[in-house]
Amino acid sequence: MKKKIVSKSAPAATGPFSHAVETEQFVFTSGQIYLTSDGKLLEGSFEDQVHQTMKNLAGILKEAQLDFSRVVKTTIFVTDMASYGTVNKIYGSYMSDPFPAREVICVKELPLGAKLEISMIAAKQ
C-alpha cells in the first residue's frame, strides 16, 4: 500500500511524480531543488539555494507528520564538487546524530538548470 503526499509548503509537482510517497514504514521524497512557492528557482547565493531546498524537504516531511530526525537516507546531486563543503555544512545544520546514510553525486545537469537536488527516505517509526 502506498499513499501520495502533497505539501502546500513545497512547490507544486510539475510532472508525473508526487512530492513523496508513504508506505507502511517509510516516506520517500522526490528530489527537490530550490524552487520557491511560485515555482521559480531561487535567485541569490548558493547558500540560500541549499537552505531553500532543505525548506522544501522540511515541508514535505511535515505533511507526512515527520521531520529531519526521521531521515535514514539522503541522496544529494550537485553539478560542481567544489560546492561539497558548502552543501555539507548547511545540510549538517539541519541533521543530528545519528546522521542519515548519504551520498553526494556530481552530475552534468539537473532539472531547470539547478545546481543542487536532494531526496530523502524517512522512517515512520
109 falls in which pLDDT band (50, 70, 90)?
very high
C-alpha cell at 6: 502533497
**CA 77/CA 53 separation, integer angstroms:** 12
- Which tens digits make up the pLDDT trace of 32-60? 999 998 889 999 999 999 999 999 999 99
Contact 22, 5 (CB under 8 A): yes
Q: What's this model's pTM, rounded to 2 decimal places? A: 0.95
C-alpha cell at 44: 541569490
What pLDDT was estimated at residue 14?
76
Contact 58, 67 (CB under 8 A): yes
Sign (positive or negative) of CA dihedral 41, 46, 48, 49? positive
What pLDDT was estimated at residue 111?
94
**CA 15/CA 31 separation, integer angstroms:** 12
Q: Domains in the chain, ordered, with CATH?
A: 3-123 (3.30.1330.40)
Q: Give strand pairing partners of 121.
A: 28, 73
